[in-house]
C-alpha cells in the first residue's frame, strides 16, 4: 500500500534564524497534530540540512535535500554528493525539479545519473516531471511526461523503482498562483500510473506515491488530494509558512 506524503521545498529561501524558527514552529504544530495520514518531509537549503536532520530525529517530519550531485566525491567544486547526504542521514532528495532542468540545464541523462547516485546511497528520490505551458496548450503534455519518465526512472529495475516517489509538477503552475484543476492532476496521475503498469506491473503502480506540485495551498489541497491517484503534494511557497503547510498536511 502506498503512503501519502506532503513535502516542502523551501528552495533558496530564509536566513538561518528564520529557517530554525520555521522548523521549530513546524515541530511544535506536528507534535500536537501527530499526522497519521501522511509522512511530512521538509527540504531546506543544504546549509540548514544538518539542522533539519537533528530536528527530524525528534519531530514528526523527515529531512530531504533539494538536489544531489551526479558525481561521486572528488574534484567537483560546489557539489554535494549522495554519500555526504547519506552520512548525514538525510532520507529524501528532490531530483529533476523544473527549476534545475531550466536554470541548470539538467537533462534526462544527468537526472538518471543523479537517481543512480541517490539509490546507491539509500536516499529516496522525489522525481519531478511536468510540462511547460506551450506543451500543455499544444496538447503535448502526456508525451512530454512520458518521455521524461521513460528516459529516466522507468529504466530502473523493479526493486530500484520501488524506492521512487514521483512528483507531477506542471511547470505553468509552479510559483504562478495558477493550479492545475483536480481533474487535470488526476488525469495525469492516472496516466503516470498506467506507464508504471506498462513498465512493471499493477502492484508496483499501486504502491507508487505520486505527488502533485504547483501552487498547492490550504485553499485547494483538499480537493486535489481527494483524487484517487493523488497521494499528496510537493509544496513550494506555502511550505515557508508553518500554518499554511500544516493546513495542507491536514487536507487528507
Residue number, 86 or 179, with CB nearest to ligand PEP: 179
Closest approach of Cβ 164 to ligand PEP, in Å?
A: 17
Q: Are 80 and 65 in contact (CB under 8 A)?
A: yes
Which cell is 171 given?
511547470
Q: How far apart are CA 7 and CA 52, in angstroms?
A: 13
Closest approach of Cβ 136 to ligand PEP, in Å?
A: 15
Which cell is 157 given?
529495475
Closest approach of Cβ 202 to ligand PEP, in Å?
A: 29
Q: Which of 39, 62, 106, 169 is catalytic?
A: 169
Q: Are 141 and 102 in contact (CB under 8 A)?
A: no
Mark whether 159 is an active-site residue: no
Residue number, 9 or 69, with CB nearest to ligand PEP: 9
Is the alpha carbon torsion for 46, 165, 223, 181 positive or negative? positive
3-state secondary structure of 139: coil
Residue number, 9 or 152, with CB nearest to ligand PEP: 9
Q: CB 153: neighbour CB atoms within 10 A? A: 26
Q: What length does the chain have?
A: 252
Q: How far apart are CA 113 and CA 21, in angstroms?
A: 35
Which residue has the CB atom at the shortest distance from ligand PEP? 236
Q: CB 212: neighbour CB atoms within 10 A? A: 31
- The residues binding ligand PEP (CB under 6 A) are 9, 169, 174-175, 213-216, 234-238
Residue whose cell numbers read 522548523: 23
Residue number, 156 or 174, with CB nearest to ligand PEP: 174
Q: Report H helices in 43-125.
A: 49-58, 82-88, 98-103, 108-120
Residue number, 213 or 232, with CB nearest to ligand PEP: 213
Q: Which of 97, 106, 141, 189 is catalytic?
A: 97
Closest approach of Cβ 58 to ligand PEP, in Å?
A: 26
Mark whether 50 is an active-site residue: no
Closest approach of Cβ 227 to ligand PEP, in Å?
A: 17
Query: Which residues carry out catalysis?
Result: 97, 169
Amino acid at each position: 500500500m502506498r503512503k501519502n506524503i506532503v513535502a516542502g521545498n523551501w528552495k533558496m529561501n530564509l536566513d538561518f534564524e528564520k529557517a530554525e524558527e520555521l522548523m521549530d514552529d513546524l515541530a511544535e504544530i506536528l507534535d500536537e497534530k501527530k499526522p497519521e495520514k501522511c509522512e511530512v518531509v521538509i527540504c531546506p537549503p543544504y546549509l540548514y540540512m544538518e539542522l533539519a536532520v537533528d530536528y527530524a530525529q525528534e519531530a514528526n517530519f523527515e529531512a530531504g535535500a533539494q538536489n544531489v550531485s551526479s558525481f561521486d566525491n572528488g574534484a567537483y567544486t560546489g557539489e554535494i554528493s549522495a554519500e555526504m547526504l547519506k552520512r548525514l542521514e538525510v532520507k529524501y532528495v528532490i531530483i529533476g525539479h523544473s527549476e534545475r532542468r531550466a536554470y541548470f540545464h539538467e537533462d534526462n541523462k544527468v537526472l538518471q545519473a543523479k537517481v543512480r547516485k541517490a539509490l546507491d546511497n539509500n536516499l529516496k528520490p522525489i522525481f519531478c516531471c511536468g510540462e511547460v505551458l506551450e506543451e500543455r496548450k499544444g496538447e503535448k503534455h502526456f508525451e512530454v511526461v512520458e518521455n521524461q519518465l521513460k528516459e529516466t526512472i522507468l529504466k530502473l529495475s523493479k526493486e530500484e523503482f520501488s524506492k521512487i516517489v514521483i512528483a507531477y509538477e506542471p511547470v505553468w503552475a509552479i510559483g504562478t498562483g495558477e493550479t492545475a484543476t483536480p481533474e487535470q492532476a488526476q488525469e495525469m496521475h492516472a496516466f503516470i500510473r498506467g506507464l508504471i503498469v506498462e513498465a512493471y506491473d499493477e502492484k508496483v503502480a499501486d504502491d507508487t506515491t505520486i505527488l502533485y506540485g504547483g501552487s498547492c495551498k490550504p485553499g485547494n489541497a483538499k480537493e486535489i488530494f481527494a483524487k484517487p491517484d493523488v497521494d499528496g503534494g510537493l509544496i513550494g511557497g506555502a511550505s515557508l509558512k508553518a500554518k499554511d503547510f500544516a493546513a495542507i498536511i491536514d487536507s487528507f
